[in-house]
Structure 1
Amino acid sequence: MNFTPGQRITNRDEDFIINDALENNGKWILKVEGISELVKSKRYIFDTNIDTQIRVLDPKKTQLVADIDYGYRKTKLFVENQIRNSSIYSKQITVAQKAAFNLSEYQLEPTLKAFELPRPRILIADGVGLGKTVEVGIFLAEMIKRGKGKRIMVLALKSILSQFQQEIWNRFAIPLVRLDSEGISKIKSELPANKNPFDYYDKTIVSIDTLKNNAKFQHYIEKTKWDIIVIDECHTVANSSSLRGGLAQLLSSKCESLVLTSATPHNGKKQNFANLINMIEPLAIKDEQNYTKDDILPYYVRRFKNDIDDAAVRSNFQERKIVSIHAELTQAENEFLEIQQKIKFAALQGLNQEDVIENLFGRKTKHGKKKDLLFAIGLFKSYMSSPEAALSSVGNRIKKLEDITDREEIAEQNLEVLENLQDKLQIIIKVGQDGKYTAFRDELIRLKWSGRKKDFRIVVFAERIETLKALKRKLQQDFDLDDKAIADFNGSLTDMEQQRIIEDFGKEDSDCRILLTSDAGSQGVNLHYYCNHMFNYDIPWSLITLEQRNGRIDRYGQTKTPYIHYMIAKSDLDGLKDDLYIVNKLKEKEETVYQSLGDAASVYKLYDSNAEEDLVTKALAANQPDILNDAATQELSDELFDALFDDATPKLQHLNPIAANVSFFENDKAYYQALVEQLKTDRYLKNDDAQFEGNILEVKQTKELNRILYDIPAEAKPDKMGGVYQLSLDKDDVQKAITEARKKKGEWAKFQILYELHPVVRYLMTQLEASVDKDVALVSKIDKLPIDTAYFLIQGTVANNLGQSILSDFFVVPMGINGGLKEKPLPFEDFLAKHKLQENLYTLDIPTSDIALIQEILPDAIDFARQLHMVREQDKLQYEMEKKMAVYQEKLNNWQASKQQQMQLDFADKNITGSVKKRMKDKEYDIETILNNSSQYFKDLTSLNGNPYLKVVAVFYNK
């Protein structure tokens, strides 16, 4: 007996689908997935040497049984279940539109574009605040519907693990097990030490730093495969030589589908961005240092606010207000900064323009003068954060001098100068001569904010930890705040502390009135739910960082006017006034970008926050504000990245992005009501286990349900056994519940979306499957149909060599009751519409003699189904696949030729030493590996192996 992927088999009284079949000395190794009740969705490996009773389910041996339920409810439900549970092959959106979000076509584009690729993989590079998490959820839902989303891993920043997990569950009912510190501890207590958690839990969310720093987890990863991996904020893994980047490269080879997300997906280095694209498609780029937008366009989407023409979406963004708060520096501060300026100008006198503009960070001549110049600028930057930050910088410098015996004659190594600076800073702090804090405090008083429960919430961003600590101390003293009213957030906190602070700040009942955060809080976190006031206590020297900060409260879903406050230092001191002008220009440039609804990175075209900081440092060093003008930085820009950041990807042209549903039922509610009633009739549910209240289905939490749904987040489950899941058909109800849950700490949404991907719904659908024996099809007699005709509803499936269902078709074969084909097979939806079977049906008596007649013509119906429909469909599909294979083969050949040519150029002028030989061999090996893997994958993807599998779903007749 031959076995092929896609076949259904029975073994040990359970049914399976073959995902992979490997011949083994005349026998077979079968990799399978369970499809009957006890083994549903579980994966096994069978060896036909051991399991000798394996048989392929033969549709000709299907037993036909009369449906006696009222209105043929069981037949309709069983057919509906088969359709809703089938792994579809479609390039349209088929189920995600039912999830709990406000549908807009731009959100569907990443998924639709990914479906155009051999492997659905995509980089989502939308601007800040456009809802990339929802776009990820759409992709995950659609892949699950296609049977390609069983095993999922999401990598996210440790601060947003809980936020991301909740969003995907609340809106899409996709459960992710959170592997933060607490989750890992729970695993250690519940699982055997040698158990791979990524095998036990199919869907997980974890921080990449957790994986990077955990050798045992990395060992688990090497032994695991996923259907989908999502890497949020993927710019953090763009450098393949870093630990994060190396891990991401490994993970990209361990999954079928990959989703990368970032509003800032590269840092202006072609190699780093090529690393991201190569994770998506290794053949996309022939030369990592020389590629075009056309090479990468198929693999990413990027849009900004001004690209969204949906008025309903744009109404979810509020017009921000900018408030500039000018802080006059005190005399003591000017005296300190006068010394700083003297150090700066003394250093400049010994340097020429080339040293400052072109080689400020280089290692050429005049180290001392450049060190002093950079020291002075660093001192200015730290003071612009706070006197406490500057004091810390000076104190650290003094400590370092203790270890330096051979000092240079420069200010930064002059103990007398440093101690003088230290003394002045200590006086400023001691006597409260901090002009910026005074202005900040006075502004809070002017706003009538006192930190009490009735007051609005505030987010304050500052770069330095010392600034945050000082702010907390001063605010607690001046406003008599207790610890609950003020929170400080920074990257040194544990993942649990970070998640607790962010989640608490997003709850209405939180006592926290002011959140002090470093730039660790500027990426990914949602701070806008109950907050619309943000203060930039210092101005970061990067427009990218500034945009990310402001995007924490000025984003999709903000219901109030966002107020962005800037603390701006003022002074008439010579030199200092110019430096303050340069820094304050950053605020104006970010505001210009906001008004044009563009992207901040497009201003300086450096695409990296560190590079932008270096540019500002050069402008300050040279005392030349023009360095920050767009025209002055054009020489730094790159045509590829200008196009990537300045322009949105072309809008996807898709006439019908959402597929029409084929159903026996008037609507989803009618289907779910019938499903629940049928399960009660068949005693798979007790009367009080499930019931509808309006549009809400309440399903009781039983021990069995709890056991099966072990991976649903604990917060999403009913509080106790006997409590109920509340699943709503109304998106608005669910979205209101999500909003309502933000009112109370620790709460998740009361209502969950009722659709076929919800684990509770899938459980109910599995129960119905179990109520019909395998190898059985139900027969219905319908007087609307032509006399003496039997219509066999067949599901035909074609799989490729990867075991993926790439053609799943429901069609009807019309047969004469006494034999012979009545007419050619027709699509099921046409059969439904032609005979109006969605209308009420009435149960008729079905004699056993009729069943016998239909049973007799069943084998002929299967033959006609195979020859007249499925073989033709398979041939058409095979032709399309062969065309794709030819195109792909040409792509492989071109890529290989280009890589080999590039390698010859790289090594042409090198002496062929042992180390050079090894590098050449390594390069050749990498090229060969990518070629072999890509070629084999595409062959398996496009090879239709074996005969199509046919299943008799139901029979409708009249006699």
Structure 2
Amino acid sequence: MDAAPLNVAPGSLVRVRDADWLVTNASPTQDGLLVEVTGLSELVRDTRAAFYEHLDEIVPYDPRQTKVRADDSPKYRRSRLWLESTLRKTPIPLGEGKLSVSTQMLTDALGYQRSAVRKALSADNLRPRILLADTVGLGKTIEIGMILSELVRRGRGERILIVTPKHVLEQMQFEMWTRFALPFVRLDSVGIQRVRQKLPATRNPFSLYKRVIISMDTLKQDRYLNHLRKHQWDAVVIDESHNLTGSGTQNNALARVLAPNTEAMILASATPHNGNKESFAELIRLLEPTAVGPDGDINREALDRLVVRRHRHSPEVAREVGDDWVERKDLQHLLVDASLEEDAVAHELADVWLYPAAGSSPYSGENKGLFPWTLAKAYLSSPPALVESVKNRIRTLGEERTDAQQRERESLDRLLALAKDSAASPSAKLEQLVTYLKGIGVSKSSDMRAVVFSERVPTLLWLQQQLQTQLGLKPEQVAVLHGGLSDVEQQEVVESFKLSASPIRILVTGDIASEGVNLHAQCHELIHFDIPWSLIRIEQRNGRIDRYGQRHAPQITTLLLRPTHEKFVGDIRVLTKLVDRETEAHGALGDAGALMGSYSVAAEEKAVEAALIKGQSLEDLIPTPDSVASDADDPWLTFILDDADHHVDSTTEVTVTERISTGLFPSDAAYLAAALDEVFETPAASPGAGGVDWVDHQGYGLVELTPTDDLRQRLAVLPQTYLTDRRVVDDMKLAVTLTRAQASLKDAQNDKANNKGLWPEAHYLGPLHPVLDWAGDRTLARLGRDEVFAVRGDVHAPTVLVLGSLTNARGQVIATNLVAVTGTSIRPFADTAEAFDELGITPDRSNPAGVDGVDGVQELISAAVDAAEEHLRMTSDAAAQDVRRRVAEWSDRVDEWVDASEDLVQRVGVKERARRVREEAEIARTMLPARSLARPLLVIVPEEN
């Protein structure tokens, strides 16, 4: 094993610039080894810093020189605090099979979600890389949070970037904080403005914040791309990642920059395949370049390793969701007879535009079959939508026209006059919508809510005004959401609709809300005012209310205008069948996109349009779910149809008790309370008197404290409105039980008088909470640097407990080894809880007085460290060999790929891909074992001492 120039690892102590520091992370960068630390000395206490090996002299403490100190605190509280704080700062091995913290968060931690986390962290992948392709509603955001929390506990989650659509920026930030206690800064337009005030334009904004949530639209701008090229991340998450496909697009360019610059990568999309084999291959290449051969063929074995995909009726999902995801009610179609004015428009459209006599089409542009159907879609949406479409075409024709354009203008004028008459008259479909909404109980004074979808902005604005008037609603009770709103406005509408206290009764929205938005908390009624000509889009819309956590049976309703023109009526039947087919696919396949096989909204719309033009039947266009067959040329289709392969095995599920714990404290809350007692001595005192106003509301599952300045600093990235409205920085309330935390979350959501938003008053004290991290830093700073405690325990002779760790060149912990050294005897332990229990280091052990004669056991330290290091070299060989084997397998795949590419190097893109593959090989080599470290944790002497 090659010795590294600087032997440091997370948890070790170093001296830099005449101050003592605790190492929290050590990783290689383009500028050398970067050592991230927390200050222990008086002048730097609680300060976080980072030092480069080549810029500063970083001197590690020699563990053999560790001093022994007697612990005279009640029940050995100081020892237990020092041990707990040290072990919390020590990453668990990256390849640890058990889940450590993700099952202890504010989630249901369902088995199918845990299996996705285990697959992401599996040793089968050299690095954590995964595509979460679960269908709509299964909780991909929860899976993302669980994976990230496990990476944080493994010391690989300091620098995280989450890229998501702009209308769900706050939703993602909210979920990461309330469920997983991971604070992220949200760089929406307001957040970016704040950064600009703090940093010069030339500075890298990502140097200011370690954990960032930002939209794709913002991040793909050139100035951010330039910064990203110089920035390394521990983990990158890209939500709705199907937007990355398409070589040459800005989104794809962004992904190509991010993929090689991050250790872990999580892509999430319910529709990752857009019908283009190459585009899907590009998505898989982002995760693992060798997963796609030089010829573009996707390795099926790699697909199984890199992709998780389940749906509502997958066995492992269906047996778990139960009453927390109520099945849909039967789909209902409301066919509405057109009014006289609407019928006149339909006949004009059909006779003149859609089905004209041969050679008599008025359209003067190219693609004569397409534009008439643009008019038809507008007509089926609303009279205002048709008026705008006709006006837009008239503006395109301009004032100077050819004879053909003049004839088209005359036809457009006739159609416009009829459309205006229709717009000025009562709308039959609108009247049906109003009747339906009244029938389900939507009113000014009721709690019933509904989501109404339409594709056209003129329709949205018209519906907003008409529904407000005809239902007697206040302006704030009918909200509209579309892409023309700013990111802040979009987020405000989405977050408001989730609140019981929200005034919104009807959300009128375009298809911007069909991706990523959760609308089920207060709503189970969804109406398609117009039908998108895409199964995928229908599925996405329905998934806004038909998702995990829905306690009421979702009702999906379509409104369809039925004119008297016979051919037009036939077209309406086709559109009706589209929605029916989505419902069939929802139950059978969980993926409506598989029916048409294009996996693209645009491609599906084009196919439906072409079928309508040709008069093609639905059965010719869209097969039934049971007639869809695997396609050898389409690995994705084979993947989603092959249940035996793509269903992750959940027979080996673990329960939520899987958490890796030391057993030194019965709970996180008990650890926090003990830390505050030790650090502040009188924590219940006011801050000015040396306390934090600590209050434990025993029996209520709630504690309170007033944050110190350094703790406020750790929370500053959270929304200022939340910090202010909930008085977090003045009086932080922490829920210390799951029951109380869930209640706090629901109270914020369901409080009728709530004017403080969705963020809860009391936040769950999960194992990764910044308060616990802060308490650990304070504890370590107070209890000493290069010291360990001596305590009494269940041993027959003085014993030294030593923790050994093996790390690679990337600073990742490969293996840990906990041993008790007694003379020449070494006793290994499987985990810390087992060790402390066997050695008698328990929360209830009394301490009559400090151990006498600690000088006599001081000499044991050096010998114990030597013995532990020798044991570590022997016992870590298996872990090291496993890493070497996986690196060798990776290298073999690289060699095979390179060999296969030699004859194809002239193909477009192959040379660039070969470069990326070789870079991956270099990364693999840095994962080989590089350094080891043994640290004494505790000296235990016999009880009779």
TM-score by length of 1: 0.89
Question: 1:536 touches 1:566 (CA, 8 Å); kept in 2?
Answer: yes
Alpha-carbon distance in structure 1 between the residues aligned to 2:131 and 2:319:
25
Question: 2:337 touches 2:428 (CA, 8 Å); kept in 1?
Answer: yes
Question: 1:703 touches 1:721 (CA, 8 Å); kept in 2?
Answer: no
SS of the aligned residue for 1:492 comes to coil
Alpha-carbon distance in structure 2 between the residues aligned to 1:413 and 1:257:
60
Paired residue for 1:934? 920
Paired residue for 2:35? 32
CA-to-aligned-CA distance 1:447-503 (integer Å, 9 cap, x gap): 4534x0325122111111111122223223323433212111111111011111111
Q: Note closer, same or farther for the CA distance 1:131–1:831 as it changes in structure 2 (3 Å cut).
A: closer
Determine whether 1:384 maps to 2:391: no
Structure 1 position 873, deviation (Å): 2.5
Q: Note closer, same or farther for the CA distance 1:70–1:348 as it changes in structure 2 (3 Å cut).
A: farther
SS of the aligned residue for 1:675 comes to helix
Paired residue for 1:870? 872
CA-to-aligned-CA distance 1:721-779 (integer Å, 9 cap, x gap): 87322222322221221121123243311121213310111101111111222111110
1:593-604 residue pairs with structure 2 within 5 A?
593-596=585-588, 598-604=590-596
Determine whether 1:945 maps to 2:939: no
Determine whether 1:278 maps to 2:285: yes
RMSD across aligned positions (CA) = 2.9
Question: 1:305 touches 1:314 (CA, 8 Å); kept in 2?
Answer: no
SS of the aligned residue for 1:129 comes to coil
Question: 1:344 touches 1:372 (CA, 8 Å); kept in 2?
Answer: no
Alpha-carbon distance in structure 1 between the residues aligned to 2:28 and 2:586:
56
Determine whether 1:854 maps to 2:862: no
SS of the aligned residue for 1:760 comes to helix
Structure 1 position 509, deviation (Å): 1.7
Question: 1:459 touches 1:533 (CA, 8 Å); kept in 2?
Answer: yes
Paired residue for 1:156? 164
Q: Note closer, same or farther for the CA distance 1:627–1:954 as it changes in structure 2 (3 Å cut).
A: same
Give identity over the alignment, percent: 27
Alpha-carbon distance in structure 1 between the residues aligned to 2:295 and 2:162:
27
Determine whether 1:889 maps to 2:891: yes
1:563 to 531, 555, 561: 555
Question: Which moved further from structure 2: 339-348 or 56-65?
Answer: 339-348
Question: Which moved further from structure 2: 151-160 or 709-718?
Answer: 709-718
Alpha-carbon distance in structure 2 between the residues aligned to 1:758 and 1:156:
24
Question: 1:158 touches 1:207 (CA, 8 Å); kept in 2?
Answer: yes
Question: 1:486 touches 1:516 (CA, 8 Å); kept in 2?
Answer: yes
Paired residue for 1:112? 118
2:713 to 687, 693, 707: 707
1:352-431 residue pairs with structure 2 within 5 A?
371-402=367-398, 405-406=401-402, 408=404, 414-431=408-425
1:361-760 residue pairs with structure 2 within 5 A?
371-402=367-398, 405-406=401-402, 408=404, 414-432=408-426, 434-450=427-443, 452-596=444-588, 598-625=590-617, 626-630=619-623, 639-647=634-642, 649-652=646-649, 655=652, 657=654, 658-681=658-681, 686-694=690-698, 695-717=701-723, 719-720=726-727, 723-742=730-749, 743=751, 744-747=754-757, 748-760=759-771
Structure 1 position 369, deviation (Å): 10
Question: 1:449 touches 1:455 (CA, 8 Å); kept in 2?
Answer: yes
1:61 to 47, 61, 65: 65
Q: Note closer, same or farther for the CA distance 1:845–1:173 as it changes in structure 2 (3 Å cut).
A: closer
Structure 1 position 405, deviation (Å): 3.8
Alpha-carbon distance in structure 2 between the residues aligned to 1:617 and 1:501:
33
Alpha-carbon distance in structure 2 between the residues aligned to 1:507 and 1:464:
27
Paired residue for 2:233? 226
Determine whether 1:811 maps to 2:814: no
SS of the aligned residue for 1:219 comes to helix
Question: 2:594 touches 2:628 (CA, 8 Å); kept in 1?
Answer: no
Question: 2:14 touches 2:21 (CA, 8 Å); kept in 1?
Answer: yes
Alpha-carbon distance in structure 2 between the residues aligned to 1:349 and 1:618:
18
1:771 to 782, 801, 809: 782
Q: Note closer, same or farther for the CA distance 1:830–1:426 as it changes in structure 2 (3 Å cut).
A: closer
1:317 to 313, 325, 331: 325
Q: Note closer, same or farther for the CA distance 1:699–1:312 as it changes in structure 2 (3 Å cut).
A: farther
Determine whether 1:330 maps to 2:323: no
Q: Match of 1:102, as an amino acid?
A: D
Q: Match of 1:449, as an amino acid?
A: V
Q: Note closer, same or farther for the CA distance 1:876–1:636 as it changes in structure 2 (3 Å cut).
A: closer
Q: Note closer, same or farther for the CA distance 1:268–1:801 as it changes in structure 2 (3 Å cut).
A: same
Alpha-carbon distance in structure 2 between the residues aligned to 1:927 and 1:722:
49
Question: Which moved further from structure 2: 218-227 or 493-502?
Answer: 218-227
Question: 1:347 touches 1:370 (CA, 8 Å); kept in 2?
Answer: no
Structure 1 position 379, deviation (Å): 1.9
SS of the aligned residue for 1:945 comes to strand
Aligned pair count reads 907
CA-to-aligned-CA distance 1:171-228 (integer Å, 9 cap, x gap): 1111111111111112222344444321111111111101223x43333222222111
1:785 to 795, 810, 816: 795
Alpha-carbon distance in structure 1 between the residues aligned to 2:651 and 2:387:
59
Structure 1 position 534, deviation (Å): 1.6
Question: 2:7 touches 2:933 (CA, 8 Å); kept in 1?
Answer: no
Question: Which moved further from structure 2: 62-71 or 794-803?
Answer: 794-803
SS of the aligned residue for 1:283 comes to helix
Determine whether 1:899 maps to 2:901: yes
SS of the aligned residue for 2:705 comes to strand
Question: 1:343 touches 1:373 (CA, 8 Å); kept in 2?
Answer: no
Q: Note closer, same or farther for the CA distance 1:309–1:19 as it changes in structure 2 (3 Å cut).
A: closer
2:268 to 239, 246, 261: 261
Question: Which moved further from structure 2: 607-616 or 441-450?
Answer: 441-450
Alpha-carbon distance in structure 2 between the residues aligned to 1:547 and 1:147:
38
Alpha-carbon distance in structure 2 between the residues aligned to 1:542 and 1:791:
70
Q: Note closer, same or farther for the CA distance 1:901–1:248 as it changes in structure 2 (3 Å cut).
A: same
Runs (5+) with no aligned partner, structure 1:
352-365, 816-820, 907-918
Question: Which moved further from structure 2: 495-504 or 324-333?
Answer: 324-333
Question: 2:126 touches 2:886 (CA, 8 Å); kept in 1?
Answer: no
Q: Match of 2:146, as an amino acid?
A: I
CA-to-aligned-CA distance 1:103-155 (integer Å, 9 cap, x gap): 21111122211112111111101111111111111011101101110111111
Q: Note closer, same or farther for the CA distance 1:347–1:22 as it changes in structure 2 (3 Å cut).
A: closer
Determine whether 1:342 maps to 2:351: yes
Question: Which moved further from structure 2: 315-324 or 631-640?
Answer: 631-640
Question: 1:779 touches 1:954 (CA, 8 Å); kept in 2?
Answer: yes
Structure 1 position 553, deviation (Å): 1.5
Question: 2:130 touches 2:267 (CA, 8 Å); kept in 1?
Answer: yes
Structure 1 position 627, deviation (Å): 2.5
1:79-94 residue pairs with structure 2 within 5 A?
79-89=83-93, 90-94=96-100
Q: Match of 1:808, as an amino acid?
A: T
Q: Note closer, same or farther for the CA distance 1:935–1:728 as it changes in structure 2 (3 Å cut).
A: same
2:147 to 129, 139, 142: 139
Q: Match of 1:679, as an amino acid?
A: V
Structure 1 position 56, deviation (Å): 2.4
Structure 1 position 825, deviation (Å): 4.5
Q: Note closer, same or farther for the CA distance 1:377–1:691 as it changes in structure 2 (3 Å cut).
A: same
CA-to-aligned-CA distance 1:307-341 (integer Å, 9 cap, x gap): 23464523211232333222101233223222222
CA-to-aligned-CA distance 1:68-92 (integer Å, 9 cap, x gap): 1112111122112222221001132
SS of the aligned residue for 1:372 comes to coil
Runs (5+) with no aligned partner, structure 2:
none
Q: Note closer, same or farther for the CA distance 1:570–1:142 as it changes in structure 2 (3 Å cut).
A: same
SS of the aligned residue for 2:875 comes to helix
Q: Note closer, same or farther for the CA distance 1:404–1:109 as it changes in structure 2 (3 Å cut).
A: farther
SS of the aligned residue for 2:297 comes to coil
SS of the aligned residue for 1:617 comes to helix
Determine whether 1:196 maps to 2:204: yes
